[in-house]
Structure 1
Amino acid sequence: MPDKPHHSAETADPDAGFGAPAGVVVLGGAHGTLALARSLGRKGVPVWHVSNDTPLPAWSRYLAGHSEWAGPDSGGARAFLTELAGTEGLKGALLVPGGDGEVRFLSQSADMLSKNYRVMLPPWERLKWLCEKPLLYRRAEELGIDIPPTYRFGSLDEAAAADIRFPVVLKPNMGGGDNRFSRAKVVRADDRAGFTDAYRDAVGQIGIENVVVQQLVPGGGECQFSYAALWLDGAPVAEFTARRGRQYPVDFGYTSTFVEIVAEPELVEVSRLLLASSAYHGLVEIEYKRDPRDGRLKLLDVNPRCWSWMSLAAAAGCDLGGLMWDAIRGFPVERPQARIGTAWMYLVRDMVAAAVLASRGKLRPGDYLKSFPRVGSWATFAGDDPVPGLIDIPLTAWRVLTRRILR
């Protein structure tokens, strides 16, 4: 790797009034943001969190500060960050997205924000081909990467009359929206009546051009895989693959509950092809599902941000956050190998997932207990940073009540 700072379109020029990086500012996110704050904080890196959503990371002892804002889609987002850089001494800090809305905002605003911050993301003209699902799936088809069968409709009547193989899933073209459909992330429809109602509802919330309809790939979390990496200037510097052993809910996972590092060379090859097509730059996680009907990996989603099980990287000896920090300071970046078999667990939700699987005869209690010795990191708990783990359950209960049930 080069022994000087990267001068790319994705990072502010270190000579443009910046000295050494002032730290890292993470916008949004929850468990992934907490993982990054801990990873960097243990290295003595100042980490600041800005959020209009969950306060979970703010309880970490490794945060140097926390600020509330109106969110990335507010009209004053750029002005807020400009003022923050001055009042908190953060000029030259690296901005990292923790959520999907923050990804779009940072990529589209990089030129203006680079007067005060470093931004490690491609410009939106390239990044949108990874973030917006219709464009992502078009790019995948061009590159010969498998995707689940995807339906495209121009009207509600066309969708209602289409020849569809059920079950299907409905997804927003990109996450981060503040509406019921976007917050749900995925809606399943098992028959035409359910699909017609769900599709009409989704279109009414975000518009027909923003609703993606795909055949549901069968199988649970054991069929779902991920590629995680740090890329610099269009090339990978650290990467590994992982399998989502369990998820919650078990039939259609809203979130991972047990993830372990596995060797999947095919994932690496396909992911490199996809990311190179956009000259990618920054942290990234790509989700795939192996279709048990044909054994092929199908591309689902690209997350150019912190992700929920990100702490697994450091636990396995491939600290992506720490490597990112070395890179922006111009230090040589090694290519560490993640330890196969190291696992991450979201304990409370994983216990529920395991109980459901056990009741169906798909998981023996003894096999579940064998998961624990492999766990190298937890979603919220850390011995040197216990408070987030203690407040996660009541905080999650409150969010479910106020954001889902009451709404």
Structure 2
Amino acid sequence: MTPDSRHEKDNPGSPGAIPGVVILGGAHGTLALARSLGAQKVPVWLVSNDTPLPGRSRHISGKFGWRGENAADAAGFLLELAGTAGLSGALLVAGGDTEVRLVSQAAETLAGAYRLTLPPWERLKWVCEKPLLYRRAAELGLNTPLTYEFASLDEASGADIRFPVVLKPNMGGSSRFQRAKVVRADDRASFLTALSDAAEQIGLENVVVQQLIPGGGECQFSYAALWNEGEPVAEFTARRTRQYPVEFGYTSTFVEAMEVSDAAEAARLLLRSIRHHGLVEIEFKRDPRDGVLRVLDVNPRPWSWFGLAKAAGVDLGAMMWDVANSRPARPAAIRSGAAWMYLVRDLAAAAQLRAQGKLTTGSYARALGSVRSWAAFAGDDPVPGLIDIPLTAWRVLTRRILR
């Protein structure tokens, strides 16, 4: 088995050093991580059966297709790949939610061929699966949105619910509902229809129903970091100022680095409780009704706006490589105000906000001036940016409109 290699890279370090990084799946976050590592001359291989976007980067040394992380032999495929492609000892990074579950659940098996960047599932499930996440948050004294639990659809039909609500999968996946990430319901009829549809796809026990926290991007914050054996190596916080759709985004579209001290404190408490290891982003929303910061989601993988890390002076990809090679992580100099933008979707979000009278042309122009990292475009790696617009349009058409 031979990778599709477009160029060769120096293998840093002495004989016996980690040969490089293998990334499983992912899209814009994977692309940003590959660019961060590529700038350090670290070989990066991509294993994916999804979007071709990161595979078009000049920083990808080789690409491998596979049947996907849900295939019965997924872990076996990765073990075989390590031997046949000369990747034994490589750092293995999960780029998507289902890849995270695979690597963490098969950690004992995969550790024989790769160096892992995730804790075992017994610890990680407490932040990956939303019902367990909210239970752990409550145990630690952290706040979460009002969440409903139902044993059956009949119970849900008669429950006392404060609308509007949102329906979420307990964890990301490949079903239509899991790809949508969030579905809003404003009344009982639309709620029961959405709940029945979601339960049919992934099972009622895997559907999370929460009261919708009001407010837009001004209320949305994130903690982003690299952890090593239960302690943070580097971290920063940001505001997810715009997203699309604007009320409960499928994806962030404009994110700004800024200090949010209570988000960092809550994140550290949560991550220390599982002795986290690796990359992580935690999403919060400040409830405008009472000012309380509430935990929404945890992503132990490269997230969509991962590229902001380097632009904000906290190059988490390069630091991950340093830590894996037992070198001191390079110092961080956080640049508050640096921003990341997913231009294609942000234009749609901005148009919607303008129509609602919540965004002016001048403020949008100022936002553009603060952008230091783009979701797909980079001057020294142009191809992903060139294909992002048609690729996004195709995915929206086939995965959201036609379905």
Q: What's the TM-score, normalizing by structure 1? A: 0.94
User: In structure 1, which of residues 89, 105, 109 is the aligned counterpart of residue 106 of structure 2?
Assistant: 109
Query: Does residue 382 of structure 2 align to residue 397 of structure 1?
Result: no
CA contact (8 A) 1:257 1:347 kept: yes
- Gaps spanning 5+ residues in structure 1: where? 1-17
Per the TM alignment, residue 334 of structure 1 is displaced from its structure 2 partner at its CA by: 4.1
What is the identity, as a one-letter code, of the residue corresponding to 2:225? A
Q: Does the aligned pair in 1 maintain the 2:75–2:102 contact within 8 Å? A: no
Match for residue 284 of structure 1?
280
Give the counterpart of 2:344 among 338, 341, 348. Answer: 348
Q: How does 1:273-312 map to 2 (within 5 A)?
A: 273-312=269-308
1:166 and 2:163 correspond: yes
Letter in 2 for 1:122: P
Give the letter for the 2:307 counterpart: S
Instruction: Give the aligned residue type for 2:293.
Output: L
Shift, 1:221, TM fit = 1.8
1:36 positional shift = 0.2
Q: CA deviation at 1:317?
A: 1.2
Instruction: Tell me the amino acid that sits aligned with residue 60 of structure 1.
Output: S
Q: 3-state DSSP class of the match of 1:370?
A: helix
Matching of residues 237-316 of structure 1 within 5 Å:
237-316=233-312
- Residue 138 of structure 1 is matched in structure 2 by 135
Measured after TM superposition, the shift of residue 76 of structure 1 is: 1.6
Paired AA for residue 145 in structure 1 = L
Q: Take 1:200 and 1:230, find their aligned partners in 2: how far apart are those partners?
A: 38
- Out of 44, 47, 62, the residue aligned to residue 47 of structure 1 is 44
Q: Which amino acid aligns with 1:160?
A: S
**Structure 2 counterpart of 1:144, one-letter code:** G
Contact 1:221 1:247 in 2 (8 A): yes
Match of 1:5 in 2: none
Is 125-134 or 356-365 further displaced after alignment? 356-365
Shift in Å, 1:335: 4.6
Secondary structure at 2:36 match in 1: helix
* Residue 68, structure 1, aligned to residue 68, structure 2: no
Which structure 2 residues correspond to residues 4-403 of structure 1 after superposition, within 5 A? 19-176=16-173, 178-403=174-399
Distance 2:75 2:101 in 1: 13
The answer to which of 352-361 and 378-387 deviates more is 352-361
Q: Which has the higher contact order (CA 8 A, sep 6+)?
A: 1
3-state DSSP of counterpart to 1:382: coil
Letter in 2 for 1:91: S
CA distance in 1 between counterparts of 2:248 and 2:136 reads 26
Q: Which moved more, 1:193-202 or 1:382-391?
A: 193-202
Q: Distance in 2 between matches of 1:288 and 1:373?
A: 26
Amino acid at match of 1:253: G
1:44-83, CA deviations, whole angstroms, 9 ceiling, x for partnerless residues? 0000111111010010001001111111110121221122
Amino acid in structure 1 at the alignment position of 2:400: R
On the 8 A contact 1:221/1:253 being kept in 2, the answer is: no
Deviates more, 1:278-287 or 1:395-404: 395-404
The CA distance in 2 between the partners of 1:401 and 1:87, in whole Å, is 38
Q: Distance in 1 between matches of 2:398 and 2:330?
A: 45
| Amino acid across the alignment from 1:245 | T
Q: Match of 2:106, SS?
A: helix
**Deviation at 1:252?**
2.4
Residues in 2 aligned to 1:359 and 1:399: alpha-carbon distance in whole angstroms: 25
Alpha carbons 1:110, 1:119 under 8 Å: kept: yes
Answer with 325-334 or 305-314: which moved more. 325-334
Number of equivalenced pairs: 389
